[in-house]
Amino acid sequence: MTANVVPALEVRNITKQFPGVLANDHISFTLLPGEIHAFLGENGAGKSTLMNILYGLYDPDEGEILINGKLAKIKNPADAIGLGLGMVHQEYALVDTLTVTENIILGTELRKGPVLNAKEASQRVRELSEQYGLAVPPDAIVGDLPVGVQQRVEILKALYRNVNMLILDEPTAVLTPQEADDLFRVMRELADKGKALIFITHKLREVREVADRITVLRRGKVVGDADPKTASEGQLAALMVGRDVVLKVDKTAANPGDVVLKVRNLNLRDDRGLTVLDDVSIDVHAGEVLGIAGVQGNGQTELVEAITGLQALPSGSIELLGKDITNRPPRSITEQGVAYIPEDRKGTGLVLGYSIRDNLVLSTYYKPPFTKGLTFNDQAIDENAKELIETFDVRTPSATTTAGSLSGGNQQKIIVAREFTRKNRLLIASQPTRGIDVGSIEFIHNQIIKQRDAGLAVLLVSAELDEVLALADRVAVMYHGKIVGILPIAEATRERVGLLMAGIQEQANV
Amino acid sequence: MKFTRARGVGLLGIFIAIVLLFAVNNSLGNKITETSKIQSIWDFTSTIRIPDSAKMKVDIKAPPVAAIELPTMITISLICGALILVGGVLIAKNPERGWVAPYMSSVIAFGFFSILLWAVANNSVDLSDTLSRVVRLGTPIAIGALAGIVCERSGVVNIGIEGMMLTAACFGYAAAAISARMIYGDALPESAAKGVVWLPLIIGILGAILTGGIMAALHAWLSIRFKVDQVISGTVINIMAVGITGFTRTNFLLKFESPLRAGLPQMPLGPLADIPLIGPILFDHKPITYLMILMVIGLNFFLFRTVWGLRTRAIGEHPKAADTVGINVNRMRYRNVIIGGMIAGVAGAWFSLEGSFGFDDGMTNGQGFISLAAMIFGKWNPIGAFGGSLLFSSADALQLKVQAYNFDLPSQFMQMLPYVVTLIVLAGVIGRAKPPAASGKVYEK
Asked if pLDDT for residue A432 goes beyond 60, the answer is: yes
Q: Mention every residue, 6+ apart, whose C-beta is less than 8 A from residue A463.
A: A173, A174, A294, A295, A296, A300, A431, A434
Q: Which residue has the higher pLDDT, A221 or B39?
A: A221
The CATH number for A250's domain is 3.40.50.300
A482 and A369 belong to one structural domain = no
* pLDDT cut 90: percent of chain A above it: 57
Residue A2 lies in a domain: no
Q: Can you tell me the mean pLDDT for A53-60?
A: 90
The DSSP-derived string for A439-494 is HHHHHHHHHHHHHHHTT-EEEEE-S-HHHHHHH-SEEEEEETTEEEEEEEGGG--H
Please tell me whether residues A205 and A231 are part of one structural domain. Answer: yes
Bridge-based pairing of strands B267-268 and B284-285 is: antiparallel
Amino acid at B180: A
Residues in chain A: 510
Contact across the interface for B317 and A109, Cβ inside 8 Å: no
Residues of chain B contacting residue A87, judged by C-beta atoms under 8 Å apart:
324
Percentage with pLDDT > 90 across chain B: 60
Q: Residue B189, Cβ neighbours under 10 Å: how many?
A: 11
CB atoms under 10 Å from CB of A165, counted, come to 23
Q: Is residue A127 part of a domain?
A: yes
Q: Which residues are paired to A338 by β-bridges?
A: A426
The answer to whether B325 touches A77, Cβ cutoff 8 Å, is: yes
Average pLDDT rounded to a whole number, residues A146-167:
91
Cβ distance of A96 and B437 shorter than 8 Å? yes
Q: Which of A55, A85, A95 to mutate to test the interface with B (most CBs of B within 10 A)?
A: A95
- Mean pLDDT, chain A, rounded, equals 89
Q: Are residues A89 and A236 in the same domain?
A: yes
At B193-224, the pLDDT tens digits run 677 789 999 999 999 999 999 999 999 999 99
pLDDT in tens, A302-329: 999 999 999 999 889 999 999 999 999 9
Q: Is residue A3 part of a domain?
A: no
User: Which residues in chain B have their CB less than 8 angstroms from residue A157's CB?
Assistant: 325
Cis ω for the linkage preceding A369 (within 30 of 0): yes
CA atoms within 13 A of residue A156's CA, in its CB half-sphere: 31
| Whether the Cβ atoms of residue A59 and residue A254 lie closer than 8 Å to each other | no
Q: What is the pLDDT of residue B434?
A: 80
Per-residue pLDDT, B431: 61
Residue A30 phi, psi dihedral angles, 5° rounding: -125, 155
Q: Examine the fold and report which residue of A363, A387, A422 is the final residue of a domain before the chain moves on.
A: A422
Segment B32-39 shows an average pLDDT of 70
Which of A55, A106, A157 is closest, CB to CB, to B314?
Answer: A106
Find out whether A166 and A88 touch, Cβ atoms under 8 Å: yes
What distance in Å separates the CA atoms of residue B31 and residue B42, rounded to the nearest whole number?
12
Answer yes or no: do A323 and A386 share one domain.
no
Q: Does A227 touch chain B (CB under 8 A)?
A: no
Report yes or no: A116 at the B interface, CB cutoff 8 Å.
yes
User: Is residue A298 domain-shared with residue A354, that is, in the same domain?
Assistant: no
Residue A227: other Cβ atoms inside 10 A: 11
CB-CB contact of B347 with B170 (8 Å): no
> Is A4 part of a structural domain of the chain?
no
Asked if the model's pLDDT at residue B60 lies above 90, the reply is no
For residues A470 and A449, the answer to whether their CB atoms sit within 8 Å is no
Calculate the alpha carbon distances from A242 to A40, A199, A237, A433, B220 in Å. 13, 21, 8, 19, 51
Distance between CA A68 and CA A486 in Å, rounded? 52
Residue of B301, B315, B318, B443 to mutate when probing chain A, most A C-beta within 10 A: B318
Across all residues in chain B, what is the average pLDDT? Answer: 90
Domains in chain B with CATH codes: 1-128 (no CATH), 137-445 (1.10.3470)
What confidence tens digit (pLDDT) does each residue in A345-383 have? Answer: 888 899 999 999 999 999 999 988 899 888 999 999 999
Considering only residues B440 and B332, tell me which one the structure prediction assigns the higher pLDDT: B332
Question: Are residues B326 and A115, on separate chains, in Cβ contact within 8 Å?
Answer: no
| CB contact A162 to B (< 8 Å) | no
User: Which residues on chain A are in Cβ contact (under 8 Å) with B96?
Assistant: 269, 273
User: Residues A230, A97: one domain?
Assistant: yes
Considering only A461-465, B145-149, B264-268, which range has the smallest mean pLDDT? Answer: A461-465
- Asked if A106 lies within 8 A of B311 by C-beta distance, the reply is yes
Structural domain range at position A206: 9-241
Pick A116's closest partner by Cβ from B310, B317, B321: B310
Q: Nearest 10 degrees: CA dihedral of A332, A338, A342, A346? A: 60
B434 contacts in chain A (CB < 8 Å): 271-272
Q: Is residue A72 part of a domain?
A: yes
Q: Which helix (H) or strand (E) holds A184?
A: helix A177-192
Identify all chain A residues contacting B313, using CB atoms and an 8 Å cutoff. Answer: 95, 97-98
Q: Do residues A250 and A184 both lie within one domain? A: no
> Chain A contact for B101, CB < 8 A?
no
Please state, in angstroms and rounded to a whole number, the distance separating the CA atoms of residues A482 and A480: 6
Other C-beta atoms within 10 Å of B81: how many? 12
pLDDT (0 to 100) of residue A508: 42
A:B CB pairs within 8 Å: 80
E strands of A81-211, at which residues?
85-88, 111-112, 115-116, 165-169, 196-201
Given a cut of 60, whether residue B405 has pLDDT beyond it is: yes
pLDDT at B300 over 90: yes
- Does A1 reside within a domain? no
> Is residue B217 within 8 Å of B341, Cβ to Cβ?
yes
β-strands A275-285, A323-324 pairing? unpaired
- What ipTM is given for this predicted complex? 0.86
Write out B107-128 in H/E/C secondary structure: HHHHHHHHHHHHHCECEEEEHH
Which range, A354-358, A490-494, B48-52, has the best average confidence (pLDDT)? A354-358
> Do residues A216 and A38 touch, judged by C-beta distance below 8 A?
no
pLDDT attached to residue B338:
98
Q: Are residues A204 and A78 in the same domain?
A: yes
Q: Are residues A393 and A272 part of one domain?
A: no
For residue A1, what pLDDT is reported? 46
Q: How big is the CA angle at A242 (ends A239 and A246), to the nearest 5 degrees?
A: 85
Instruction: Give the pLDDT score at A509.
Output: 47
Q: Are residues A415 and A432 in the same domain?
A: no
CA distance B310 to chain A (A): 7
Nearest to B233 by CA among B322, B309, B161, B307: B161
Q: How far is CA B326 from CA A85, A121, B220, B322, B337, in A?
A: 13, 18, 21, 7, 20
A241 interface with B at CB cutoff 8 Å: no
Band (A245; pLDDT cuts 50, 70, 90)? low
Chain A residues closer than 8 Å to B314 by CB:
95, 98, 102, 106
Q: Does A312 touch chain B (CB under 8 A)?
A: no
Say if the Cβ atoms of A77 and B322 lie within 8 Å: no
The answer to whether position A79 is within a domain reads yes
The reported pLDDT for the residue numbered B383 is 96
Same domain, A366 and A507: no
Backbone angles phi, psi at A218, to 5 degrees: -145, 130
Instruction: Provide the shortest C-alpha distance from residue B105 to chain A (in Å).
Output: 20
- B43 vs A101, residue with greater confidence: A101
Q: Does B1 touch chain A (CB under 8 A)?
A: no
Q: Compare CB distances from A115 to B306, B432, B434 and report the shortest one's residue.
A: B306
Q: Are residues A275 and A143 in the same domain?
A: no
Measured in whole angstroms, the distance separating CA A119 from the mean position of its chain's CA atoms is 37
Q: In degrees rounded to 5, what are phi and psi of residue B442?
A: -70, 140
Q: Which residue of A has its CA nearest to B153?
A: A97
Q: CA B358, CA B144: separation in Å to the nearest integer?
A: 20
Angle between helices B329-349 and B287-305 (to 10 degrees): 160
Which of A373, A407, A422 corresponds to the end of one domain? Answer: A422
Cα(B80)–Cα(B73) distance, integer angstroms: 10
Domain count, chain A: 3
CB-based burial of residue B276 (10 Å sphere; 0-12 exposed, 13-18 middle, 19+ buried)? middle
Q: What's the CA angle centered on A308, arms A305 and A311, to 5 degrees?
A: 40
The pLDDT tens digits for A377-429 are: 999 999 999 999 999 988 888 899 999 888 788 899 999 999 998 899 999 99
Final residue of a structural domain among A422, A457, A486: A422
Count CB neighbours of A80 within 10 A.
Answer: 26
- Main-chain phi, psi angles of A28, to 5 degrees: -135, 140
Query: Would the CB atoms of A115 and B307 count as touching at under 8 Å?
Result: yes
Residue-level pLDDT at A247: 57
Cβ contact A271–B307 (<8 Å): no
- Dihedral pair phi/psi, residue B256, rounded to 5°: -95, 125
Query: A214: helix, coil or strand?
Result: strand
Neighboring chain B residues of A141 at a CB cutoff of 8 Å? none
Q: Which residues of B touch A158 (CB under 8 A)?
A: none
pLDDT for residue A386? 95
Residue A213 in domain: yes
